[in-house]
Amino acid sequence: MTFSCLDQVLEFAEQSQDRFEADLAELLRIPSVSADPKFRNDIRKAADWLVEHFGKLGLKTELIQTAGHPIVYAESPPVPDAPVALVYGHYDVQPPDPLDLWISPPFEPTVRDGNLYARGATDDKGQMLTHVKSVESWLATGKQLPLQVKFLIEGEEEVGSEHLENFLSGNADKLACDCVVVSDTSQFARGVPAITYGLRGIAYYEIRLTGPNRDLHSGVFGGAVTNPVNALNRILAALIDETGRIQVPGFYDDVAPLSEQEQAEFRALPFDEAAFQRDLDVEGLTGESGFTTLERRWGRPSFDVNGIWGGYQGEGEKTVLPGKAAAKFSFRLVPDQDPDAITASLREMLQRLLPPGIRMELIESHRAPGIVFPLESVYLQAAAEAIEQGFGRRPVFIREGGSIPIVSTFARRLGADVLLLGWGQNDDNLHSPNEKFSLADFHRGIAASAALWDRLAAVCHE
Ligand code: BES
Ligand code: ZN
């Protein structure tokens, strides 16, 4: 494949910037929130939008129904003697709440300072669409793509990818590929593109405590009857000590330690801890003692209460001893921790911590192991070259703390190399109000993706 061919592709992409942005804005206007059943029709609309879009590019396209939200699949024709790339992304988004903190409404995409603001802008509609637009740019030049590209775009990533897991197990042939390309992570910093070679996993729970059969007067009953909110506080506090060590028995047994070399590599990254704190407006940081901030975020497990409720939260005061309390909490996991073993040990520990007069229900939800990919892959090197082409700078290699549950399944089931090529920024506000995606990064991502098809195809011939 000659570079002049790629040049033509890149030129087409450059000339199409306004239209590509308009297409992204159209997709962002659809409130495809997967967690909330009231957005079911919009989830379907976003899937249909993609089907129509892939159809217009001339790709063989299918809408695959599942017991949950539909999967969109599309593929370009096979190319003999060239590898196959499978692009994975998600069209579902996180709920936009709290709405009053958005400067412009979450589903009315708005440009400010070169950023496009909308729920899903970076996570993941904008990032995912870079690959669709790069394929469009290749096809617009009247040439075949230099390799076969398959697209697998799901609508349940933000709720744990349950039905995609099932689909993968029954469709390994259809999805057969040499590498999986995922743009659903971030660059290291502004102007420092990155390839992510590790993600944390997750184990997520809801705990419900029930005490007396009704809310009680805290003066008449307090001090004699166990208060479920007090009990919940004690239980959650017991899960982690003051040095940041998680107290679930056996929790660290399978944690793969960070090698000296990896620690040195983390330290060599241009991480500005003061700027990190300034951005969050916090005057100090905490975490497991003996580890740096990047180690804590990328290479060590963590525990967070994600939500907690119980008792009186209205205006003024109410002297109540509530009958119930509940919380949602999760652990981020690293290789080689096993989410199921952790759940078993956690359940036992919680039972032990329950004070008299309290019943517990523990509900398990998201579950995914942490993952680290080897850096030796030829496809990874090809991706580094493509990023250099699109972003004008060679990427650094990083791990990240977020989870993409299906990624470990890809590696296991399809035996393919996974390329996590993130075009986002750490301050893109994913899962927060005012989510954004830099339009410059959107177009650089399209250019890098266009170059990626060229570089991946070249791998076979080198
Ligand atoms: N795109 C994120 C994951 C991510 C973000 C990885 C930034 C690395 C850097 C993804 O959409 C996400 O938020 N996943 C959830 C998964 C969970 C719901 C099982 C997460 O990590 O909380
Ligand atoms: Zn995402």
Contact 428, 415 (CB under 8 A): no
Q: What is the CA radius of gyration of the chain?
A: 24
Q: Which two tokens stand for residue 394?
A: 């060679």
Contact 303, 294 (CB under 8 A): no
10 Å Cβ neighbour count for 228? 26
DSSP letter, residue 145 = P
What single string gives the DSSP state of each residue in 309-370? E-S--SSS---EE-SEEEEEEEEEE-TT--HHHHHHHHHHHHHHHPPTT-EEEEEEEEEE--
CA of 90 to the centre of ligand 2 (A): 7
Q: How far apart are CA 83 and CA 178, in angstroms?
A: 6
Residue closest to 236 by CA, chosen among 375, 353, 77: 353
Nearest 5°: CA angle at 244, between 406 and 338?
A: 30
Instruction: Give 141's contacts (C-beta < 8 A, 6+ positions apart).
Output: 5, 8, 9, 12
Residue nearest to atom 4 of ligand 1 (CA): 402
CA of 277 to the centre of ligand 1 (A): 21
Q: How far apart are CA 289 and CA 433, in angstroms?
A: 31
Residue nearest to atom 20 of ligand 1 (CA): 403
Active site residue 206: no
Residue closest to 66 by CA, chosen among 134, 163, 131, 147: 163
Pairing between strand 194-199 and 110-112?
A: unpaired
Residues with CB under 6 A from ligand 1: 123-124, 157-158, 160, 184-186, 199, 202, 366, 400, 402-405, 430
3-state secondary structure (DSSP) of residue 191:
coil
Which domains are delineated in the chain?
A: 5-199+370-459 (3.40.630.10), 201-255+301-368 (3.30.70.360)
User: What are the CA-CA distances from residue 367 to residues 249, 341, 406 (Å)?
Assistant: 19, 11, 10
CA of 67 to the centre of ligand 1 (A): 22
For residue 353, the number of C-alpha atoms closer than 13 Å in the C-beta half-sphere is 23
Phi-psi region of 290 (alpha: psi -120 to 50; beta: other; left: phi over 0): left
Type of residue at 181: V
pTM of the predicted model, to two decimals? 0.94
User: What are the CA-CA distances from residue 140 to residues 13, 15, 133 (Å)?
Assistant: 9, 12, 10
Residue nearest to atom 1 of ligand 1 (CA): 184
Contact 181, 88 (CB under 8 A): yes
DSSP letter, residue 10 = H
Exactly one of 42, 75, 156, 157 is catalytic; name it: 157
Active site residue 92: yes
Ligand 1 pocket test, candidate residues 158, 328, 329, 333, most atoms within 8 A of CB: 158
* 462 residues of the chain, pLDDT tens digit each: 455 689 999 999 999 999 999 999 999 999 999 999 999 999 999 999 999 999 999 999 999 999 999 999 999 999 999 999 999 999 999 999 999 999 999 999 999 999 999 999 999 999 999 999 999 999 999 888 999 999 999 999 999 999 999 999 999 999 999 999 999 999 999 999 999 999 999 999 999 999 999 999 999 999 999 999 999 999 999 999 999 999 999 999 999 999 999 999 999 999 999 999 999 999 999 999 999 999 999 999 999 999 999 999 999 999 999 999 999 999 999 999 999 999 999 999 999 999 999 999 999 999 999 999 999 999 999 999 999 999 999 999 999 999 999 999 998 888 899 999 999 999 999 999 999 999 999 999 999 999 999 999 998 654
Exactly one of 21, 42, 92, 178 is catalytic; name it: 92
Query: Which ligand lies nearest the alpha carbon of 91?
Result: 2
